[in-house]
Amino acid sequence: MPRALLSVWDKTGLVELARQLAGAGWELVASGGTAAALEKDGLAVIPVQELTGEPELLDGRVKTLHPAVHAGLLARERKADLAQLAERNWLPIDLVVVNLYPFEDIISKPGTTLEQALEMIDIGGVALLRAAAKNFPRVTVLCDPADYPAVLEHMGMLAFRRQMAWKAFSRTAAYDAAIEAYLIQREGYPAPLRCEAYPVIGLRYGENPHQAAHLYGPTIDSTPMGGMLLQGKPLSYNNLLDLDGAWRAVLAYTDPAAVVVKHTSPCGVAACADTAEAVRLAILSDPVSAFGSVIACNREIDEAFLEEVGDLFVECLAAPSFHPAALDKLKHKKNLRALQLPLNNPAAWGEMRTIFGGLLVQQSDSGDPASAEGWQIVSKRKPTGVEIETLHFAWKAVQAVKSNAVVLASSNPESRYTVGIGGGQPNRVDCVRIAGERAGERAAGSVMASDAFFPFPDGIEAAQELGVTAVVQPGGSKRDALVIEAADKAGMAMVFTGVRHFRH
């Protein structure tokens, strides 16, 4: 008769699992509260103390830490191992069902004392999980109630037992890490960073063919950016970098919007009454750079959207959904990737970048913080209502552009859109000029957004030459007075946000 040992804090699904096991002829061994819950339901249970011949000790701190239990778990399918068990009248244990004391939940509650936290450090449960997982060639281990329904059907499969063993070791590793972090932080030190990531897909190569690359995600069943590739070639390393930039940018808008990204930085952004007009205007911002780009939209992509994309060579399209007719139309573009992404898809780990000998970690920049004091009009001329709306649009767009970022934007009654973008240069004046070159005649009457302050009047003077009418920038330069004076001289409206948005 196969034997199962059950010892759980979280009783979710426990009785149902035990009933299935008993109905299949299993013998149930359980500890403490687990045994009581099963007996209350009328199930026959062997208490752990009957198995060990010892009572629970130290107010339940010692229950399953006994050779009768661990020998039953660790015994292999060897005559010598089984003979040693038989000499002591012990039996093998074939299934372990354990979840741990809720240490993480306890320490997250305000006012939790060290004594309370220490009592929630599970010892016996961790030992059971590790012993059973180590012996997965024979023993099945369950640490997650979500896996209970599948156990009887799949436990005879080595692959299933191996997967459950991996899951158990993953759980004990995270549990020990939480304990370590808690104790370290109590000593006044920062918690160590542990990034658990799992392979999602292998990539053909990295940024260049001689660089190997993989995509990793936060869970074993992660998908690219949490979404689903609906059609097209496999995603590449550079595709994913561009898609990340495009998706972050388009999520800044609540109106229907489209963002065109090339080499991780937007070259066109538009927010309009409908997505077809948005993508038309976004491409028009810089049609040369749009070749070989990725395009993201925060609404469903339909046939009208694709009509505006036309024959432009695009690497990827990303959206929360694709109309079936649009997908059907994309079938002839076998290389174009269509990625469906959830709108509520926050960054899993913030942002991390490697440097020689270390790792830089920061929170994601998700726009102006709630603590920001608000915009301040610093020029003699106040911006018009249309200018304010366009400045707000441009301020969101500039946050996705590489520093030194400058965005020129215009609007009509139903649309707001970039006409020129400059970024990634060592000085801000060059970025103003690049944005102006992209915009051409459309620069006249546009507004300008800058991700950081203008340290000299020359950037404003360059914008004046282009015909810019209003500027939004963080402010904070020692020469703000000179910059404001230049804006007033040009008849420009200028707004300070008090917040900068560098993107290196």
* Domain range list for the chain: 3-186, 225-340, 376-496
Mean pLDDT of 59-83: 81
Instruction: Using pLDDT thresholds of 50, 70 and 90, give the confidence band for residue 37.
Output: confident
Does residue 19 register a pLDDT over 80?
A: yes
Greater pLDDT, 412 or 371: 412
Which tens digit of pLDDT belongs to each residue from 102-116? 899 889 889 889 989
CATH 3.30.450.40 fits domain 376-496? no
Does residue 353 register a pLDDT over 70?
A: yes
pLDDT value at position 346? Answer: 56
SS3 217: strand
Q: Residues of the chain with pLDDT > 70: what percent?
A: 99
Which tens digit of pLDDT belongs to each residue from 170-209? 999 999 999 999 999 888 888 888 888 889 999 999 999 9
Closest residue by Cα to residue 229 from 126, 335, 103 = 335
Does residue 272 register a pLDDT over 80?
A: yes
The torsion of the CA quartet 56, 62, 67, 73, rounded to 10 degrees, works out to 100
d(CA 73, CA 127): 11
Q: Tokens 């997250």 belong to which residue?
A: 108
Name, in order, each residue with C-beta under 8 angstroms of 193's C-beta and a sequence gap of 6 or more: 359, 361
Mean pLDDT of 292-310: 97
Mean pLDDT of 309-324: 97
Instruction: Give the amino acid at 3.
Output: R
Which tens digit of pLDDT belongs to each residue from 446-474? 999 999 999 999 999 999 999 999 999 99
> What count of Cα atoms within 13 Å lies in the side-chain half-sphere of residue 255?
18
pLDDT value at position 451? Answer: 96
d(CA 387, CA 370): 23
| Whole-prediction pTM | 0.82
Question: Which helix (H) or strand (E) element contains residue 269?
Answer: strand 265-272
Mean pLDDT of 67-76: 85
d(CA 132, CA 204): 38
| CA 69 from centre of chain | 41
Mean pLDDT of 403-411: 96
Q: Residues of the chain with pLDDT > 90: what percent?
A: 65
Instruction: Give the amino acid at 78.
Output: R
Does residue 166 register a pLDDT over 60?
A: yes
Phi, psi (rounded to 5 degrees) for 167: -65, -40
Residue ranges in 136-261 assigned as alpha helix (H): 151-154, 158-186, 237-250
On whether the CB atoms of residues 410 and 390 are closer than 8 A, the answer is yes
Instruction: Using pLDDT thresholds of 50, 70 and 90, give the confidence band for residue 71.
Output: confident
Instruction: Give the amino acid at 384.
Output: T
SS3 241: helix
d(CA 421, CA 403): 11
The answer, yes or no, to whether the previous bond of 345 is cis (omega within 30 of 0) is: no
pLDDT value at position 275? Answer: 97
The reply to whether domains 225-340 and 376-496 share a CATH topology is: yes
Cα 172 to Cα 62, 125, 142, 485: the distances in Å are 19, 9, 12, 63
Residue ranges in 187-274 assigned as alpha helix (H): 237-250
Calculate the average pLDDT of the chain: 92
Which of these CATH numbers, 3.40.140.20, 2.30.300.10, 3.40.50.450, 3.30.420.40, describes 225-340? 3.40.140.20
What homologous superfamily does CATH list for 3-186?
Methylglyoxal synthase-like domain (3.40.50.1380)
Mean pLDDT of 337-364: 84
pLDDT value at position 135? Answer: 93
Q: Which long-range contacts (CB under 8 A, 24 or more apart) does 424-432 make?
A: 424/265, 428/404, 428/452, 428/454, 428/455, 428/459, 429/458, 429/459, 429/462, 430/404, 431/404, 431/405, 431/406, 432/406, 432/459, 432/462, 432/463, 432/466
Does residue 128 register a pLDDT over 70?
A: yes
Instruction: Using pLDDT thresholds of 50, 70 and 90, give the confidence band for residue 345.
Output: low
Instruction: Give the E-state strand segments of 10-166 in sequence order.
Output: 27-30, 46-47, 95-99, 140-142
Q: Which long-range contacts (CB under 8 A, 24 or more apart) does 441-446 make?
A: 442/408, 442/410, 443/408, 443/419, 443/467, 443/468, 445/410, 445/469, 446/390, 446/408, 446/409, 446/410, 446/419, 446/420
Mean pLDDT of 140-156: 89
pLDDT value at position 349? Answer: 60
d(CA 230, CA 68): 53
Phi, psi (rounded to 5 degrees) for 142: -125, 125
Mean pLDDT of 68-90: 84
d(CA 40, CA 12): 15
Does residue 219 register a pLDDT over 90?
A: no
Q: At what angle do helices 458-466 and 428-439 cross, to 10 degrees?
A: 10
Q: How many residues does the chain have?
A: 504
Catalytic residue positions? 134, 263
Name, in order, each residue with C-beta under 8 angstroms of 382's C-beta and a sequence gap of 6 or more: 493
pLDDT value at position 228? Answer: 96
Phi, psi (rounded to 5 degrees) for 488: -65, -40
Does residue 38 register a pLDDT over 60?
A: yes
